[in-house]
Structure 1
C-alpha cells in the first residue's frame, strides 16, 4: 500500500505541475500576443508616417494627370494656330503618352481600382482623338479637331468621365483618413 500511496502522491504532484505549467503558459502566451500586437500597431503607425506622404503625393500626381489629359484643358494647352488636325493628333497622343510614362510609378501608391480608371481614361482619350481625326476631312485644322473632340464629350449621355475619375481618386484619398 505504501508504494501505491507514494505513486498517487507523485501523480498528484505531476498533475498539479502540469496544471501550473498550462496556466502559466496561457498567461505568458496572452502577454506575448499582446506585446506582439502592440509592436505591430507601432510598426504600422511608423510605416504610415513614411508612406502616407508618398501616397498623398501619388494621388496628387494622378489628379494632375487626369486634369492634364482632360480635353477641355489639354486642347487649350496644346493648341498651335495653323496646325493640321493630323499634326495636332500626333501632338496630343505623344503628350498623353509622355504624361502617362512620367506618372506610371504612381501606381505603387494608389489603389489598383484608381490606377485601372487612370489607364482607361488615358486609353479612352486617345481613342476619342483618333476617332475624331478619322471623322474629319484631310484638310481639317487643329481647331476643327478640337471642336470635334469637345462636341463628342458634350454629347455623352453620361457624366463627364474625367469628373467620374476624379471622384474615384477623391474617394480613395478620403478612405486614407
Structure 2
C-alpha cells in the first residue's frame, strides 16, 4: 500500500482536539468532501461525550480544508454522533444516516439529517430512521447504519443490541 507520508491525512487540531473517526468521503466534480467524527469533549456537562460530525473539502484528496461542524448537535437529545453514511439524491440534495446517543444511560439510535448543498444540514431524528423494536435482537439499540442503493431500492445495514453482539440486520428504506 502506498502512503502519502508518515502523518495522518487529517490529524488533531484545535477544531478536532481529542480524536477523529468514521470518515465518509464523496467524490464530486470539484474534488472530494469528507464528513468525519470529532470528539470535542469527553463530558459535555451532562455526563455524555460531545462527538460531532465535521466537514472538510479537497481538490486532490491529499490536502484538506476543514470547514467546521456539519450537523448541529443538540445537548441531551443528540450529541454523541458516530458512523455517518452520506448519499446524494437524484435531485442533488443530500441525506446522512448515523448513530447518536442523547444522554448517559440511553443507548444508540439511528438518526438522519438532510441538506440541500451538503454543507447545511437539518437534523431529523424520527423521519427517516429505524427505531428500536418491542422485542428481539434490536429491541434496546439500533446503531452503525450503512446505507446503499441496489437495483432501484435503498437498503440499510445496521447493528442492534450490544453494538451488534448478535449480528447485523437489513432494512429496505421507504421512499
Superposition TM-score tier, normalisation by shorter sequence: under 0.3
Larger Rg: 1
Select the structure with the greater relative contact order (CA < 8 A; seq sep ≥ 6): 1
Q: Which has the higher helix share?
A: 1
TM-score under structure 2 length normalisation: 0.22
Q: Which has the higher strand share?
A: 2
